[in-house]
Homo-oligomer: A and B are copies of this chain.
Amino acid sequence: MRKLGVGVLGVGEMGKRHAENLRSLVPEARLVAVADASTERARQVAAELEIEHSYSSLDAMLECKDLDAVLIATPDKFHAQAVGIAARAGKDILCEKPLALNLADAHAALRAVSRAGRRLQIGFMRRYDPAYRAAMKRVEAGEIGVPVIFKSVGRDKDAPPLAAYQANVNGMVFYNNTIHDFDLARWLVRDEITEVHAYTTVAIRPEVAQYGDVVASVVNLQYQQGAIGNVESYVQAAYGYDVRTEIVGSKGSILVGSLRQTAATFLTAGGGVQTLADHFLTRFADAYLAEVRDFVQNILNDRPVRVTGEDGLKALGIAVAAENSHVQGKPARVTVGRSSASA
């Protein structure tokens, strides 16, 4: 069996998970190298996963001769540039969300991919989650009728430390968290969002304001064909990691999401208690694996990827509009700027 040689760029929490999946759980792939700005971290992950090559930069890794594809899991700020470099080196790419932190960078990255004739997939892994897939199947089968309302909630348990804000390598909440919901909003409703309105708050952590970020947001959505929606994000939900989505249609409705971490309930005089989900790597473990495996299989078989660069661009356009609304205090139109060259 031919295997796809993959290198992982960025082996923090997320990149390491991708590397582990590629190393052990995707029979069609061979993890050939990891790279990280921290040479030490790259070396350590390589040792742990028992692979030969570790590098301290993408450029260095691209020299590795068995490399067919690159998985990009750096801080968000470096995504677009890395996509461009990898594409120009002739590699296929799976890039973590967001594709970029602004539309110009996104367009540049997509152009590079397009010119190189490579494939680019964006890491919207929720599309691979069994519950979301089951929901989409019902939508496609017409079981909910015409979509009327889209709702999504995304709450993280632990807000980023202030140091992360100071490092300034990730975008604000809309780029980093809500972008998952923006992608679902397009995907599940099968329509485009034309305008958004955002309220935000820094109430319980005013010190993030100076970095342009917020702790919570609610974003109203208007769709092209008449549906409406709202997505909420909160980066420090004390109780756990909580992702829930609803798509409400003329004939029925689908709820995706559950608060339970395990199937155990404890009953005492104080009430019935359930352990709550607390981390995206746990909640979406299956999705991350299915995502990377699907990417590998599609590249190997010369099939289109399932979550395209265009999807990355369009979700980014919604995030940009949400930020504009937040800054300007009024609704903002969604646009992706000049006509994009799709991946």
Report A's interface with B, CB cutoff 8 A: 24-25, 27, 50, 130-132, 134-135, 138, 143, 145-146, 148-149, 151, 153, 155, 197-204, 215-222, 225-230, 232, 234, 236-240, 242, 248-276, 329-331
Contact = CB atoms under 8 A, between A and B. Distances in A.
Nearest to A146: B204
Contacts of A135: 264
B239 A253 contact: yes
A263 B257 contact: yes
Contacts of A222: 199
Question: Of A220, A221, A258, A259, which is in contact with the most chain B CB atoms at under 10 Å from its CB?
Answer: A220
Number of this chain's copies in the assembly equals 4
A189 B249 CA distance: 30
B230 A262 contact: no
11 contacts: A24-B25, A148-B234, A201-B228, A218-B220, A218-B229, A238-B250, A240-B269, A242-B267, A254-B266, A256-B263, A330-B331
A130 to B, nearest CB: 5
Given A227-B203, A230-B230, A250-B204, A268 B146 contact: no
Contacts of A204: 145-146, 148, 250
Contacts of A330: 330-331
B197 A197 contact: yes
Given A248-B237, A251-B268, A148 B203 contact: yes
Contacts of A271: 239, 266, 273-276
B220 A197 contact: yes
Given A146-B204, A329-B331, A252 B264 contact: no
B197 A239 contact: no
A155 to B, nearest CB: 8
Nearest to A157: B269
A135 B274 CA distance: 11
A227 to B, nearest CB: 6
Nearest to A26: B24
B238 A268 contact: yes
Contacts of A25: 24-25
B251 A267 contact: no
A195 to B, nearest CB: 8
Contacts of A266: 138, 143, 252-254, 271
A271 B253 CA distance: 11
A236 B198 CA distance: 26
Nearest to A256: B264
A253 B270 contact: no
B143 A268 contact: yes
Nearest to A236: B250
A259 B272 contact: yes
B234 A248 contact: yes
A95 to B, nearest CB: 25
A295 B30 CA distance: 28
A28 to B, nearest CB: 12
Contacts of A202: 226
Given A201-B227, A227-B203, A228-B201, A239 B267 contact: yes
A269 B258 CA distance: 16
Contact of A232 (B149, B216, B258): B149
Contacts of A267: 239-240, 242, 252-255, 259, 276
